[in-house]
Structure 1
Amino acid sequence: MPILSVRHVTVYRYRRPVSFGEHRIMFRPRDSYDQRLIEATLDIDPLPASVRWMFDVFGNCVAIASFDTRSDTLRFTCGITLDHTPEHAPVFPLAPHATHYPFGYGVEDMPDLSRSIERQWPDTHHMVDAWARSFIPADGRIPTQDLLADMTRGIRCNFTYLARSEKGVQDPVTTLRLKRGSCRDFAVLMMEGVRSLGMAARFVSGYLYNPRNDRDRHVGGGSTHAWVGVYLPGAGWIEFDPTNGIVGNRDLIRVAIARDPRQAVPLHGSYFGLTSDDLGMRVDVAVTETSAPDLVPAH
């Protein structure tokens, strides 16, 4: 059970001092049985006039910072220490009726799952549908875990990871056509593919632990990361990282969950000035294993 430390720094630079609107910060990991938050710090420069905390509609922890000063630089430094319990060989105790695909959800779950089953992106020519169904054998029946693992590893093996600095997410049809994308692009493709098969899926944002920055093990480190959660009867929400072919939570630190990736942006806000004043943003994320302080819950 490693103790992991995360240092997440985001710096905005401007050509001249500008004033700032509210900034919404989503960096604090979700406490759970598989990850326990020990410490979390947030330093902002220049010092904000106020910082308030809230839970959003998904239960994600969000900080809202307001400012009354001008500056040519805005820096957010987040520090996290948590006790992480990885599932190295995940075996999911599925309900008997869900061990093989296709399966259905119970009537008591559907009101809460229905929006996570709805498709969010256009697929006029059913390309994502056809891609998702290519993992199903001709007789139409397959172990549910095998189907989702094959889809996860299929993206890992057949698509090329490409870090993108542009805002937003590539639509899944484009990702499928180009066979390349960022972690958030792959997450959205798999999420839409899973939904096309009638399963509930959601977008997960957080951090990736990659010992020694080993590219043979993982790609997508050095910034925030994205993957998919799928709801399986008897097992609950299970995580799949198509960028790295990970099934389960190994090396994944969950921060935010959402129905749509636009609801899980780690940091966004506004400034008041000219478009030409914006000199860009830099993000640096380091995730390392560390020795534990006294294991008390974070405040």
Structure 2
Amino acid sequence: MPLLNVSHITTYTYRQPVAFGEHRLMVRPRESYDQHLVDARLRIEPRPSGLRWVQDVFGNSVAIATFDKRASSLVVESQVKVDHHPAEIQKVNIEDYARLYPFTYAAEEMPDLLRSIERQHLDPLRQVDSWARQFLHPSGKTETLAMLSGMTEAIKRDFTYVSRAEKGTQTPIESLTRMKGTCRDYAVLMIEAARALGFAARFVSGYVYNATASERRTGGGNTHAWVRVYLPGSGWVEFDPTNGIVGNRGLIRVAVARDIYQAVPVSGTWSGFPGSFLDMEVSVDVRVDGQVKSPSNAAAGGTGKR
């Protein structure tokens, strides 16, 4: 049960002072049975004229900041301490009726899961469907958890992870064609593949860290993205196709949403002369209490651009 210190700093720079519109900040980790927020501090520079907290439709904590001063930079710094309780794949319990695929969600759960089953991307040639169905056992008896675990591992094994500074996300078909992408591309692909098979799946934004000195997680130094799939008996289960993780080991949830664009860590507007925007830099460092930063935990810290 490691106690984690998370530093998440987002910095925007401009050629000259600009005015800032409303900004939505999703940097506060979610409270749950497996992760507890011990302390949270949010620093914004320039200091906002107003700051209020709301919970969105998914229960994510969102800070809404307004400004009355112009500035040539905007810094959002989140410092949190989280008590994390990692769970391994062996802890995933599935109801008997759902152990083998296909199955149907219970009637009382289906109305609330439907929007998370709906496909979000066009797939006219059924390319995502075909890719997803390769994980079904030829005999027709497919173990649900083994299938989803196999899909998670296949993306980690067969695709090339590349960091990308440009905004936006590849479509699932682009990811299949290029066989490479970022963690958010992998998450979107797996969500669509799971939905193609009838599963309820959601996008998760948060942080990844090395629980031990021997682990080397991919995706550190920035916010991380992965998937949650609803499995009767355990509820929402984490699947990280970037690192081949099943369960929450090394993963800290911040925001959960039906679509990636509902879980943007920092979003907002600014106004000024055209061409004023220079750069955006993101720095994320996750440190286990007492852990000294070294090459062995490089996935936990660093800087990157989104």
TM-score (norm 2): 0.93
The equivalent residue for 2:233 is 234
Partner of 1:210: 210
Deviations 1:34-56 (A, max 9, x none): 00000010000111101000000
1:74 aligns with 2:80: no
Q: How does 1:184-263 map to 2 (within 5 A)?
A: 184-210=184-210, 217-263=216-262
Equivalences for 1:18-167 in 2 at 5 Å? 18-167=18-167
How far apart are 1:77 and its partner, in Å? 0.7
Partner Cα distance (2:143, 2:256) in 1: 26
1:67-98 CA deviation, whole Å, 9 max, x = no partner? 00011011011001010000134332111100
Partner secondary structure for residue 228 of structure 1? strand
The 1-side partners of 2:88 and 2:141 are apart by 27
| Partner in structure 1 of residue 170 of structure 2 | 170
The answer to whether 1:281 aligns with 2:286 is no
CA distance in 2, matches of 1:275, 1:286: 33
Q: Structure 2: which 5+ runs fail to align?
A: 291-306
Q: How far apart, in 1, do the equivalents of 2:119 and 2:82 lie?
A: 34
Deviates more, 1:223-232 or 1:135-144: 135-144
Q: Give ranges in structure 1 of 5+ residues lacking alignment.
A: 292-299
Between the two proteins, the alignment pairs up a number of residues equal to: 291
Superposed CA deviations along residues 106-161 of structure 1, whole A, max 9, x for unmatched, are 11011000010000001111000000000112122211110000000000000011
| Residue type at the aligned position of 2:171 | D
Q: Give the whole-Å Cα distance in 2 for the aligned partners of 1:212 and 1:2.
A: 10
SS at match of 1:120: coil
Q: CA RMSD in A?
A: 1.5
Secondary structure of 1:163 counterpart? coil
CA gap of 1:268–1:213, structure 2 versus 1, over 3 A, is farther
Distance between the aligned counterparts of 2:227 and 2:208, measured in 1?
Answer: 13
Please give the secondary structure, in 1, of the residue aligned with 2:249: coil
Q: Distance in 2 between matches of 1:174 and 1:288?
A: 34
In 2, distance between residues paired with 1:82 and 1:241?
20
For 1:176 and 1:164, the matched residues in 2 are separated by 17
The residue matched to 2:62 in structure 1 has which SS?
strand
CA separation in 2, counterparts of 1:255 and 1:114? 23
**SS at 2:20's partner residue?**
strand
Offset at 1:164? 1.3
* SS of residue matched to 2:91: coil
Normalised by the length of structure 1, the TM-score is 0.95
CA distance in 2, matches of 1:150, 1:35: 26
